[in-house]
Chain A
């Protein structure tokens, strides 16, 4: 998902071999509902983390970006980081039970909760939780049955980016990449993941109200079919799908793509590299992502994990990560700590009205997330198969 990781290939292959060799799980982990922790004891001296690249920097990539060593010095918990390239990879790594905490995105969180791989988080044990933006607390993608399953880390919207020299008039609607895409045939790009189906659903929600889509992540069979049909039509105009952000930056710089979904950080990087691009939040609103630090149900170092949760969303560290990675921080106090005083404004960090228009990635599950009881919704596995079919 985020971050270019061609190695996800090799890892995926390795995981396949491993998972197979180990007989892959014990078949029924449904019952593995761990209770939330009641107190934080002494640190275990170690914590094993699965993180997106850029989330747990120890200075080895950029000497100025180091929030792992100060944590180790302060808590005595040695950090072992495993960088994951995709949400799918995070899910399968968490299944091994060898990690204490993970920076999961909304397209993975419910899967982890459903499988019993993560435990509810006792937010009273994380003092910095108090200062998290209210718009990130107790959301459908990070809570279940009134329990928080992690500490929000940051968020971003999936924007519409275009080349100002090639695309006119300036688009303000997702129509540009769906019904209007033929105008830029072969130069349109889209995010390469099943979760992108939600973007089509969001567009249909506004343009075809008869379908009755209330939540782009709660699609019954008919609604999913309509989104798939729209995406199959869009495919004719697609130049390439992107999944790593560096690839999109070069595509827009070189003119291989002139129009498509993006993240703020990509728009900023491309603009900094002199590409004439602009990113907008279209009038229909947008999909988006929000990451949550979750704790494994089988954590071997739960105390250190809780210390990490509190550390990574503390105002100063949250500001550092948000700036390094390019996202809106989750901690309201982080906005005063950023090196660039405009950072929170650029990423709309404290603009709840802006984020009300953003539908954060949520794992599609059979129980419709929009509250419908009379139908069964399509789950993520069906979305994955549909995505294969869309790409043909």
Chain B
């Protein structure tokens, strides 16, 4: 009896609680994306650069037929893939060590070490790398005795700095997955006669895979959208973000059409990850 009396009120309260975030999600978040996509079908007055509301698909045709946009899109995609692979290679042993080998104080210290850079400003970190990668920077100084020269500013520097910036987003989910892995499962595997490689392949890998994919969504999509790092250490290269930024005030519809490219790439990537089962734990 009392339950039925309270239910409408509870439901109302729940609705009131959920309304603001839902409104935000639909209006501000998805709404702005929808308007962005819509404006990609408009055009601009070439003289005043005011947006003219005439329906056209010219912007998309321009993007598909202009070689430089294809080059930049492929370069951006390549960098995002490289950053993701590099982060996966770095994060796997690191997360494994933190979750399964290190203990007590060392483990906490490592976790703090991974988290601390997250709290530092993006620009501070990128500029720090600019100094390190410079002609007289620490990278060249360290490589000089070996007769080597650092990558300098350019595409390689962009990959390194982005991999550095997004590394925690890869380590943390993998670490969480490995930490959740019951020790009994590993013991059982050993009891059943599996060697290290077999245990890694049959027990650890399935547990880590969804986390790895989830982490890769971050590193991949963040790399696709980035354009400040390129400005700081990119030398003479440009990514999709830079091209979009250069068009924003002059030709907003073209900028909108261009920004549909990374959106499409991320959607494709998410679909692939979903098929691979990376989103099941969400």
Query: Which listed residue, B131, B243, B252, touches A19 by the CB 8 Å rule?
Result: B252
User: Interface residues of A, CB < 8 Å — how many?
Assistant: 52
A256 and B153 form a contact (CB under 8 A): yes
A95 CB to closest chain B CB, in angstroms? 8
A89 is an interface residue with CB less than 8 A from chain B: yes
Q: How far is the CA of A325 from the CA of B231 in the complex (A)?
A: 23
Q: How far is the CA of A388 from the CA of B195 in the complex (A)?
A: 55
B252 and A24 form a contact (CB under 8 A): yes
- The interface residues of chain A lying within 8 Å CB-to-CB of B137 are 254
B68 CB to closest chain A CB, in angstroms? 5
Stretch at the interface among A237-245, A284-292, A301-309: A237-245
Q: How far is the CA of A147 from the CA of B144 in the complex (A)?
A: 61
B153 and A20 form a contact (CB under 8 A): no
Query: Which listed residue, A15, A20, A255, touches B39 by the CB 8 Å rule?
Result: A20
A124 is an interface residue with CB less than 8 A from chain B: no
A29 and B231 form a contact (CB under 8 A): no
A-B contact count (CB 8 A): 131
Query: Which listed residue, A27, A28, A238, A381, touches B250 by the CB 8 Å rule?
Result: A381
B224 is an interface residue with CB less than 8 A from chain A: no
Interface 0/1 of B31-73, CB less than 8 Å to A: 1100110010000101111111100000000000010100110
A25 and B248 form a contact (CB under 8 A): no
Q: A17 and B47 in contact (CB under 8 A), knowing A388-B246, A391-B236?
A: no
Q: How far is the CA of A46 from the CA of B16 in the complex (A)?
A: 41
Query: Which listed residue, A12, A111, A194, A256, touches B49 by the CB 8 Å rule?
Result: A111
Q: How far is the CA of A239 from the CA of B133 in the complex (A)?
A: 13
Q: How far is the CA of A22 from the CA of B123 in the complex (A)?
A: 30
Query: A1-25: which have CB < 8 Å to B?
Result: 6, 8-9, 12-13, 15-17, 19-21, 23-25
A139 CB to closest chain B CB, in angstroms? 20
A145 is an interface residue with CB less than 8 A from chain B: no
- The interface residues of chain B lying within 8 Å CB-to-CB of A254 are 134-137
A-to-B contact residues, CB < 8 Å: 6, 8-9, 12-13, 15-17, 19-21, 23-25, 27-30, 88-89, 91-92, 95, 111, 114-116, 186, 194, 235, 238-241, 243, 247, 250-251, 254-256, 365-366, 379-381, 384, 387-389, 391-392
B-to-A contact residues, CB < 8 Å: 31-32, 35-36, 39, 44, 46-53, 66, 68, 71-72, 123, 130-131, 134-137, 152-153, 227-228, 231-232, 234-238, 243, 245-252, 255-256
Which 7 A-B residue pairs are closest in the complex by CB-CB distance? A115-B48, A88-B249, A24-B51, A92-B249, A240-B235, A255-B135, A254-B134
12 contacts between A and B (CB under 8 A): A6-B123, A6-B228, A6-B232, A16-B248, A17-B32, A28-B50, A186-B152, A241-B236, A250-B130, A255-B134, A380-B250, A391-B237
